[in-house]
Amino acid sequence: GAVVSQHPSRVICKSGTSVKIECRSLDFQATTMFWYRQFPKQSLMLMATSNEGSKATYEQGVEKDKFLINHASLTLSTLTVTSAHPEDSSFYICSARDLTGSFGNTEAFFGQGTRLTVV
């Protein structure tokens, strides 16, 4: 199957600083990528849909100024957590969707996730 690479896998930052997480689709071009947040022992909650060349679409309750998303190319989307606070500590996962059908019945590929800890 296709590979979606997410970096870094772990990051610890101080309160008030910003952290950037990258999501790359390595085998296909993704006009749309998705960012999820996952709290311990809970499910994935969609935060936003990242659209190449245009503004991201945020889910209700997600602060767009807090979680900046940039999708500058067909293979790269970035999520920047600005002015991070301890409550932003979480597991963030990106996903890229392949609409070409090149990978059989697998239409969404997920990155390895990023464990963010804000101290």
Partner 1 sequence: SQQGEEDPQALSIQEGENATMNCSYKTSINNLQWYRQNSGRGLVHLILIRSNEREKHSGRLRVTLDTSKKSSSLLITASRAADTASYFCATRAPEYGNKLVFGAGTILRVKS
Measured CA to CA, the distance from residue 100 to residue 58 in angstroms comes to: 25
- Cα 54 from Cα 41, distance rounded (Å): 33
Judged by CB under 8 A, the chain residues 54 through 83 that form the site for partner 1 are none
Does 90 engage in binding with partner 1 (CB under 8 A)?
no
7 binds partner 1 (CB under 8 A): no
If binding is defined by CB under 8 A, does position 95 make contact with partner 1?
yes
Which among 40, 43, 111, 39 is positioned nearest to 79, based on CA atoms? 111
Nearer to partner 1, 38 or 70 (CB): 38
DSSP string, 18-56: -EEEEEEESSS--SEEEEEEE-TTS-EEEEEEEETTS--
Touching partner 1, residues 18-57 (CB under 8 A) = 34, 41-46, 49
Residue 6 within binding range of partner 1, rule CB under 8 A: yes
Choice from 69, 84, 93, 96 touching partner 1 (CB under 8 A): 93
Type of residue at 6: Q
Residue 102 binds partner 1 (CB under 8 A)? no
